[in-house]
Amino acid sequence: MARVVEADGAVDVIDIDDPADSRLDDFRDLNSVDRRPDLPSGKGLVIAEGVLVVQRMLASRFAPRALLGTDRRLTELTPDLTGRQAPGVPYYRVSAEVMAEVVGFHLNRGVLAAAVRVPEPSVAELVSGARTIAVLEGVNDHENLGSIFRNGAGLGVDAVVFGSGCADPLYRRAVRVSMGHALLVPFARSNNWPADLVMLRERGFRLLAMTPDPRAEALSTAMATVRDQPLAVLVGAEGPGLSEQAMRASDLRVRIPMSRGTDSLNVATAAALAFYERTRLPE
């Protein structure tokens, strides 16, 4: 065992040669074990993959309890690890071969970090002070969820609310596709759906429901009417879209004008266009 740096708060670097070492259990067989870490039966761990996402985890509310990676990635991460973010946390330094055997596949990102989940705020707590939020219903695809976080982080979304039927935003794949923004953009899960939509309205949010319905208002026109108010952008899953209940609870039904008789855009792309229109400066 050797400290990378002597400064207080650095990680403990621990070399491990044996893939069966139980200290690596947080990272074992990632593709087959713990596919539902959010369930009571799951481990509850949040896994960050790759230097960039691990850096974002270190900057987030999810404090890693262990890291697994190659020496090369340790070097790349050292500036991030030598702060107060990772006091005394073990970095299990392994070869790429041992890493592949533990994880169950070759991971060319070369480093993983594992954190335990933290308590989530209520929807009311989450949205306090927010100007723009995304509200998701039935978005059960981890890639779409991750993309919505990435797009939201770049395009001014303050928080994300999950209605019914959404996938776990802290699942490894969602975190990876989000480029780590699922760890940074605050979110909450509604326990009272769709009634929480009424609560959002009572707190001053205008509710804008995205739909491919040609009778809906065009995005730019609709967004101009809510420019100075707190806004919730509601999106549903590709295919079914938002439920009738969610549509009815909304203030505005909004469509993206589309060409060529295309059915719809990907849900994360549609959300990005709404977020963009929200932040777009008036001409």
Neighbours of 33 (CB within 10 A): 13
Of 94 and 226, the one with the shorter C-beta distance to its own copies is 226
Structure tokens at 224: 């101009």
Which residues does residue 179 pair with via DSSP β-bridges, in sequence order? Answer: none
Where residue 125 falls (left for φ over 0; alpha for ψ -120 to 50; beta otherwise) is alpha
Of 77 and 270, the one with the shorter C-beta distance to its own copies is 270
Strands (E), 56-186: 64-69, 90-93, 111-116, 132-137, 159-162
Of 1 and 281, the one with the shorter C-beta distance to its own copies is 281
Q: For the CB of residue 180, give the shortest distance to its own copies in the complex, in Å.
A: 10
Write the binding mask 157 to 196 for its own copies: x where contact by CB under 8 A, - elsewhere. ----------------------x-x--x------------
Q: For the CB of residue 185, give the shortest distance to its own copies in the complex, in Å.
A: 8
Number of H helices, E strands in the chain: 10, 13
- Is there binding between residue 98 and its own copies (CB under 8 A)? no
- Is there binding between residue 269 and its own copies (CB under 8 A)? yes
Q: Which of residues 204-263 bind its own copies (CB under 8 A)?
A: 218, 220, 224, 256-260, 262-263
- Is there binding between residue 147 and its own copies (CB under 8 A)? yes
Calpha distance 145→178 (Å, rounded):
8
Of 46 and 256, the one with the shorter C-beta distance to its own copies is 256
Give the Å distances, CA to CA, from 98 to 17, 110, 222, 253.
Answer: 7, 11, 55, 53
Which residues contact its own copies (rule: CB under 8 A)? Answer: 147, 150-151, 153-156, 179, 181, 184, 218, 220, 224, 256-260, 262-266, 268-269, 272-273, 276, 279-283
